[in-house]
Structures are given as C-alpha cells and as structure tokens.
C-alpha cells in the first residue's frame, strides 16, 4: 500500500462506519418535520393501499433490523387482532403484526395497544411480507368514521379506483378529464374531513365518466354536481 499523503487521515472500516452513522444521526435529528403527506380523500387512501384492515392492537414492542444498532431504523411492532380484511386478500391470508417507524418525524404512528380501540388501518407490504403503516396512510379509530365511510370501505371505494380525485386548493379549479371528481373540502372548510370525505365516493357511471356519489338510496339522485361540494 502507498504512504498516505501529508495531512490525510486513513480511516479504518470501523471509524468510517461510525462516522457515517454519526452523520446520519445528526441529519435525522434535524428532520423534525420530515414527514409530509399530500392531502388524500379516504377513497384515494383505499385505492393506493395494498392492505386495508379493521383490527385492534393487543400489544407492542420496539424491534430493529438484526444488522443495525441505529435508533432511527427501529420500528414499533404492533400485535394486531384482525377483525376484517377489506383489501389485500390475494396478498396475505392473515396478519399478526403491523410495523411503523418509532419516530413520528419518519411518519411513525402511535396506536393504543390496550386492545380496546377498533382501528381502520391501510398500508403497504414489504418484500418479506410484513405490513407497514404510517402517518400518510389511512389510520383512524373505527368509531371516528361516518356511516357512509364504513359502507364505502366495504365496496364503493373499490368500485371507484379507476376514477381520479383532484384536490382543489384555490379557485379557479376544475376537472380536466371525465374520469375525475373535484375534491373541495380543503378549499371550503380547510379540512381533509369535510362533507365530501365523510359522505361521498367517486364512482364511474355507465358512460365511463366519474361523479361523486353519496352513500344510501336513491343512487340516481345522489350524484354530486361539481358546483355542489
């Protein structure tokens, strides 16, 4: 091996690893607001998720990858009592655990693990089959959902997954294609839990156009006009 140049420090693999770990930790310490989620209608959450379930959390513990000691790679493993699978039947038959980052700055979710709260959880699957949830997923106590949302989760959201939902942030705003529904909750009530989110699903009709549909009969009169959010 050659002689190090004057002023240069030769880093051993151990020192290099420790240095990189320290730099990563310092960077993550400043990521207090790192978790940023785009506004999404419940139907968008449902359609984009690989897994959607109802369940109760019966236990939790912190786990980490076997080859890592970094606290930023640790996950909370929630033990779940599955009540009903709403989406993902073809991917997994049963779910015992769901995983989320320990830190909320990394989109980690804190759930009540006393087996009392009934949750709606949406998430994705890792390559090893584990289910991951985060702050940008649909994670809500079941009792917080409207009756329409509960009905829509069973079949209407799935019916509308070919439709697109366009979020209106400011006026003017409009749909650009026939298969879009305009979501105005954020504009009108500055909330992601307004009337459209709690009562409506965006459904494709027989002519392939998409319109807002309010849960409950009669279906012919419950399509929502774009000017009536």
35 assigned to a ligand binding site: yes
Token pair, residue 197, equals 């989110």
Summarize the annotated binding site as residue ranges: 35
Summarize the annotated binding site for Zn(2+) as residue ranges: 35
């Amino acid at each position: 091996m050659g002689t190090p140049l004057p002023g240069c420090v030769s880093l051993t693999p151990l020192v290099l690893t420790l240095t990189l770990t320290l730099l990563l930790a310092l960077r993550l310490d400043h990521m207090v607001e790192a978790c940023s989620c785009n506004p999404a209608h419940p139907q968008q959450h449902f359609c984009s998720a690989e897994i959607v379930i109802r369940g109760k959390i019966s236990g939790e513990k912190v786990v980490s990858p076997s080859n890592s000691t970094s606290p930023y790679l640790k996950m909370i493993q929630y033990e779940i009592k599955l009540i009903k699978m709403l989406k993902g039947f073809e991917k997994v038959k049963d779910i015992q655990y769901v995983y989320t980052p320990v830190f909320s700055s990394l989109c980690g979710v804190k759930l009540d693990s006393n087996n009392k709260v009934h949750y709606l959880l949406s998430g994705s699957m890792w390559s090893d089959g584990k289910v991951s949830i985060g702050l940008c997923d649909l994670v809500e106590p079941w009792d917080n959902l409207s009756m329409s949302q509960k009905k829509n989760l069973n079949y209407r959201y799935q019916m509308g997954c070919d439709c697109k939902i366009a979020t209106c942030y400011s006026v003017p705003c409009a749909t650009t294609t026939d298969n879009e529904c305009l979501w105005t909750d954020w504009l009108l009530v500055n909330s992601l839990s307004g009337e459209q989110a709690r009562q409506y699903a965006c459904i494709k009709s027989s002519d392939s156009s998409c319109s807002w549909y309010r849960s409950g009969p009669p279906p012919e009169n419950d399509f929502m006009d774009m000017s009536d959010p």
